[in-house]
Amino acid sequence: MKNIAVIGAGTMGNGIAHTFAQFNYKVHLIDISDVALQKGLATITKNLDRMLAKEKISEADKTKTLNNITTFTKISKGVANMDLVVEAATENAVLKAKIFKELDEVCDEKTILATNTSSISITQIAGVTSRPEKVIGMHFMNPVPIMKLVEIIRGYNTTDEITNVIVELSKKIGKIPVEVNDYPGFVANRILMPMINESIETLYNGVAGVAEIDTVMKLGMAHPMGPLQLADFIGLDVCLSILQVMYDGFKNPKYAPCPLLVNMVNAGKLGVKSGEGFYDYSENRKAEVVAKMFS
């Protein structure tokens, strides 16, 4: 397995592409627009430069990584002859179903289809294909080149063979795979998102301010980043989407998104990517946050 296609050049997609390419896999990075692809490549280049400055990689490593990535604006061309396709599009069940239907039609029979979904049922996604046994979840953590964990989620029909292939592949790119079952939010977000949501509720109810809530969690619970700052980094729209998936899946009010989170997303305050969330991010500040994650 040496040929990997990644669908989506956003934060997660370009990070996944970066990681596979750095480990000398041939990567096809696919997005619907050249603008998105160029932005994704620019992000990969900046992150490689940070790693180079910290002597974590060499100039040759950087060049090799970038040379291993080819961009495409059409799925049908980008996934031809690929061993694995990793979908990293927006966390939207309808969009993912549409993508997987197309992938099933245009990919080789041998191609494994993976999704980086952080909450949506693998079984549901696999159900739109004629190869549910070859569909699996690979939930990478952000920033992908740095974070070690990959949640491996098998759908109802995913075979042991496919699961073992993806587990071993994850190890080969320096990750630690952890197998979890296919329930809304899996493990990481089933625990993380209620904590973030409760932190927003704490702010919403006037118990403490943003900096105070984050400081308590950093100093009192030894978290490297406070939950509100982490929500900004993840994207408040993503947090809202995951909570909605869990609320719909479990019908449990403890997963209901805080009204403040809903209002902020409706107002376009999405965190780092929009320039403002619970904190205010100028361009310089945004660069600082990303640089810190690669330190």
Mean pLDDT of 46-52: 96
For residue 225 the two structure tokens come to: 């980043």
Same fold, 3-181 and 189-289: no
* Chain segment 183-240, per-residue pLDDT in tens: 999 999 999 999 999 999 999 999 999 999 999 999 999 999 999 999 999 999 999 9
Residue 265 pLDDT > 70: yes
Question: Does the annotation list 142 as a binding residue?
Answer: yes
> What is the model's pLDDT at position 163?
98
Domain residue ranges of the chain, discontinuous segments joined by +: 3-181, 189-289
Residue 288 pLDDT > 90: no
Average per-residue pLDDT for the chain: 95
Residue 152 pLDDT > 90: yes
Which residues is 271 bridged to in the sheet? 276
189-289: CATH superfamily: N-(1-d-carboxylethyl)-l-norvaline Dehydrogenase; domain 2 (1.10.1040.10)
CA-closest candidate to residue 146, choices 180, 181, 112, 173: 173
Mean pLDDT of 112-125: 97
Q: What is the DSSP string of 139-169?
A: EEPSSTTT--EEEEEE-TT--HHHHHHHHHH
* Chain segment 66-104, per-residue pLDDT in tens: 999 999 999 999 999 999 999 999 999 999 999 999 999
Question: Does the annotation list 21 as a binding residue?
Answer: no
Question: Does the annotation list 91 as a binding residue?
Answer: yes
Question: Could you tell me the pTM of the whole model?
Answer: 0.90
Question: Does the annotation list 10 as a binding residue?
Answer: yes
The architecture that CATH gives domain 3-181 is: 3-Layer(aba) Sandwich (3.40)
For residue 120 the two structure tokens come to: 């949506």
Question: Does the annotation list 220 as a binding residue?
Answer: no
CA-closest candidate to residue 16, choices 150, 197, 193, 129: 150
Question: Does the annotation list 226 as a binding residue?
Answer: no
Question: Does the annotation list 13 as a binding residue?
Answer: yes
Q: Are 213 and 200 in contact (CB under 8 A)?
A: no
Mean pLDDT of 141-152: 96
pLDDT interval class at 282 (50, 70, 90): confident
pLDDT interval class at 17 (50, 70, 90): very high
Q: Which residues are catalytic?
A: 118, 139, 151, 189
CA dist 30 and 13 (Å) reads 9
Mean pLDDT of 142-152: 96
Residue 150 pLDDT > 70: yes
